[in-house]
Amino acid sequence: MTPAQRRWVFGVGIAGLAAFYLWGLSGLPGFGNYPGPYGFIILRLAVGQTHATGVVSAINFSYRGFDTVGEEFILFTAAAGTAVVLRLLRGERERSAVDQAADRDVPPTSGAVRIVALLFTGPVVVMGWWLASHAQTSPSGGFQGGVILATAFILLYLSGEFLVFKRFSPVDLTDLVEAVGAGGFAAIGVAAVPMGLAFLTNYLPLGQFPGAVSSSGTIALISFFVGMEVAAAFILIIGELLEQTLLIRQGR
């Protein structure tokens, strides 16, 4: 294909894309105009029905809980997939767990980096834990809390070496936490079925008043399990990538 022909094909493609894009844009509702009824209904009913003042969490873990189970297992599968793809292959071997680069000397981690990373590790853990356990009262939730918890382990790696990261997140334990998190969510949902309720019905007591940490029944509990699953999944993925980068080499 000559360059002129290519330009012609590109021109037709881009013109078609622009036409469809503008056509689509012309049919959009105005900025900030919400045409559907469900948002308004949920906003009116959610706090009274679920006793969760974090309405986003009420939607994620109760009204649309079924979607969230799916998302949960997408991440679960992604972590498992990473572990399978990045396993030690034939013709590869593991090296010592010390940082090194091929083309230059690795400077030792500076004291400033170590201290900043260590100073932040504790607060990051507290923040992640708080977010994962306060989905019912704030715009947080298990996913946000879990990811932030996982970044505490990245800080651990920055403050020391890969071995430190491994000591604080042994693969067996992280696997277990991930499985309990994902399984816990599913188990809470399935437990409603023997009671004659639909999957993921909120069957726990909702608490005395909306906005209390102990309120919202299964929503708070599910969020916490999601936090466990997400934190463990991200730690596993980062750990696998670190291992692949630092330890595994071609050849014997």
Partner 1 sequence: MTAAVHTTYTVPIGFMDALQITILIMVAAGATAVVLVRRQVHQVLVLSIYGVLLAVLFLAFQAPDVTLSELTVGAVVLPVVLLLALAKMRKREQ
Give the binding site for partner 1 (CB under 8 A).
56-57, 101-103, 131, 139-141, 143-144, 147-148, 150-151, 154, 234, 237-238, 241-242, 244-245, 249-250
Of 4 and 101, nearer to partner 1 (C-beta) is 101
Gyration radius from the chain CA atoms: 24
Minimum CB distance to partner 1, residue 190 (Å): 26
What is the rounded CA–CA span in Å between residue 249 and residue 211?
Answer: 53
Of 177 and 242, nearer to partner 1 (C-beta) is 242
What is the rounded CA–CA span in Å between residue 158 and residue 110?
Answer: 10
Minimum CB distance to partner 1, residue 201 (Å): 23
Minimum CB distance to partner 1, residue 170 (Å): 20
Both structure tokens of 32: 């900030």
Minimum CB distance to partner 1, residue 189 (Å): 21
What is the rounded CA–CA span in Å between residue 118 and residue 26?
Answer: 52
Minimum CB distance to partner 1, residue 7 (Å): 21
Of 139 and 205, nearer to partner 1 (C-beta) is 139
Distance of CA 13 to the CA centre of its chain: 36
What is the rounded CA–CA span in Å between residue 143 and residue 132?
Answer: 7
> Among the residues of the chain, which ranges form H helices?
3-26, 38-50, 55-58, 65-85, 111-133, 142-159, 162-168, 171-191, 218-246
Cβ atoms of 247 and 97 closer than 8 Å: yes
Of 8 and 33, nearer to partner 1 (C-beta) is 33
Of 200 and 237, nearer to partner 1 (C-beta) is 237
